[in-house]
Amino acid sequence: MKIVADPNVPYIHEAFASLGDVTLVPGRQLTAAHVSDADLLLVRSVTPVNAALLDDSRVRFVATATIGFDHVDVAYLAARGIGFATAAGSNANSVAEYIIATLFELAHRKNFRLRDKTLGVIGVGNVGTKVVHYARAIGIRVLTNDPPRQRTENLSDFVSLDRLIAEADILTLHVPLTKTGPDATFHLLEPCHGIVINSSRGAVLDNRCLLAAKLDGLVLDVWENEPHILPELLAKSDLGTPHIAGYSFDGKVNGTRLIYEAACRHLGVAATWQPVLPAPLVPRLKITVMPGEDDEDVLRRIIRQVYDITGDDARLRADYRRFDKLRAEYPVRREFFNTELELHHVTTTLREKLTALGFRLAGVR
């Protein structure tokens, strides 16, 4: 069996070698010729999967190692009887930690306290749910909007998009990209105030309209027409990153594991591969809380030592034309749960916040 895969999926060869012969082809370079004699196709979000790619192939199973799948013509796959799987939820925690790191960095730069702000979360799926949990745990007031869930679950704490936009100081978007139907998200809103964070899909916001918007702050991890982003929009952004919010090493490996297990189910074979991750870069931190030091300052200090989001921003600004290279060569980032904290002079409230964010506490004095 021939398997064609994007090399940017970690451990892809190790995971799938037992199932067949693995051929690695960079996602943006993948053509119909590459997959004509393939049985399995494994991609990321940069590869459009449609009739043009697969019509003359023998591909019977496609998996994307991403949570979103707007790059895949799912109806076409179903009509052809081609199996399909995503890595839904695999990097949700990675994106949520990106948002938390962003919030603390913005609060530091703009000299405000997060506890004084209201966060509006648009889209409360795998990612949005974690963002809500973390934000509330660190003391931010949160409003949520998710029309599909509201219709099916009738949850009392969801609010209208109009109310959320009016009341929230900070908006963060966690929706799929859809262009039709009652909940289409293409160019979903034209923000005109507050702070806006987008780590979902670039086209959820009209990037040219963002250039003219009078915002209090802007953070973009996703951009229209990637990898060809607008340099003037990067210049306007407080933080700009090359679509890496979900690129924690833990999240990416989760994605590989999920599509491997899905492929095994499709083929009717036992899943035997288990990833072995390297030791974390920051396995332990010793943190002393200074007298009178605000919890938010301590949290930012800890988070920045584990994940310094300003490094991602600096690399993109240094050469935004290397957008894809920055993704392919992204440094290893581990999630908070990999780091154990030894804390001195910590309050019970701060300890609870750190635990809620996933950090392990080795000792508290």
Cα–Cα distance, 297 to 217 (Å, whole number):
20
**DSSP designation for 72:** B
72-109 as b/e: b if 16+ CB within 10 A: bbeebbeeeebbbbbbbbbbbbbbbbbbbbbbbbbbee
- Distance (Å, rounded) from C-alpha 118 to C-alpha 139? 10
Please compute, for residue 249, the number of CA atoms within 13 A of its CA located in the half-sphere on the CB side. Answer: 19
Q: How far apart are CA 312 and CA 219, in angstroms?
A: 12
Q: What is the DSSP letter of 254?
A: H
Question: CA 191, 251, 267: angle at the middle one, nearest 5?
Answer: 115
Residue 258 makes CB contacts below 8 A (sequence gap 6+) with 65, 85, 86, 87, 88, 89, 90
CB-CB contact of 285 with 302 (8 Å): yes
Annotated catalytic residue 14:
no
Active-site residue, from 243, 327, 333, 334: 243
Whether 105 is catalytic? no
- Token pair, residue 213, equals 């918007």
The one catalytic residue in 226, 293, 340, 342 is 226
Half-sphere exposure of 170 toward its Cβ, with a 13 Å CA cutoff? Answer: 28
> Does residue 243 have an active-site annotation?
yes
Q: Residues 201, 300, 315, 334: which is the catalytic one?
A: 201
Q: Which residues contact residue 280 at a Cβ distance below 8 angstroms, ignoring those fewer than 6 apart?
A: 334, 338, 339
- Residues catalogued as catalytic: 201, 226, 243
